[in-house]
Amino acid sequence: MSTLAALLLAGAAVGWAVHARWLHRRLTTARHDPLTGLWTRDAFTRRARRLLRNPRAVVVLADVDRFKQINDTHGHAAGDALLATVAARLAHGTGPGGIVGRLGGDEFAVVLIDRDGTAADRLHTLARVLARPVDNAPDVHTTVSLGWVRAVDHPSEDLSTLLRRADEAMYAAKRSGRSGPLRAARLGRLLGSVAGRRPGRRGAA
């Protein structure tokens, strides 16, 4: 091989390497929310579906309470700082092996692996942490409503259905003014409750 041919091949290899790195950066940027650094909805969905193969998976929906009021009172920069803080605290509280995504606006989704059966306690602690003021901005704070569901309680349901259940629990918590997370009803308990309301059931009023 001539020296010129070798130089051309080397130059092409360097060019492809630079292009590959550029493409990787573009793809990585597209998969992450620019404000919070969390996974975007599509990227979160792909990874969350894989995590749901684990029977100890827990799906959580989080929504910042009175977010518009924060923006109106303190300005959009303060609102952005609050969202970034919530994102960082959610990521820290999720622990290793879990995933957090920003679905849009002030709504976040989490899939965590409950290895030791302490999800309820962890989420109550997380709710208290999320209610703390933003660092260096003591006036910027609010609560975050959390709804959650264990995948094992709803066998064969997919991610979208589990997210819907967690979403319903989260909004129930928001409406009730609960200070802590609300767990979605177990499938068995829900079916028993429906059966108890069927007309003609023995012993029914």
Active site members: 106
- Cβ proximity of 128 and 143 under 8 Å: no
Residue 175, amino acid: R
**40 Ramachandran zone, left/alpha/beta (phi>0; psi -120 to 50):** beta
Rounded CA separation 167/159 (Å): 12
- Cβ proximity of 58 and 52 under 8 Å: no
DSSP symbol at 152: G
Reduced to 3 states (helix: H, G, I; strand: E, B; else coil), residue 146 is strand
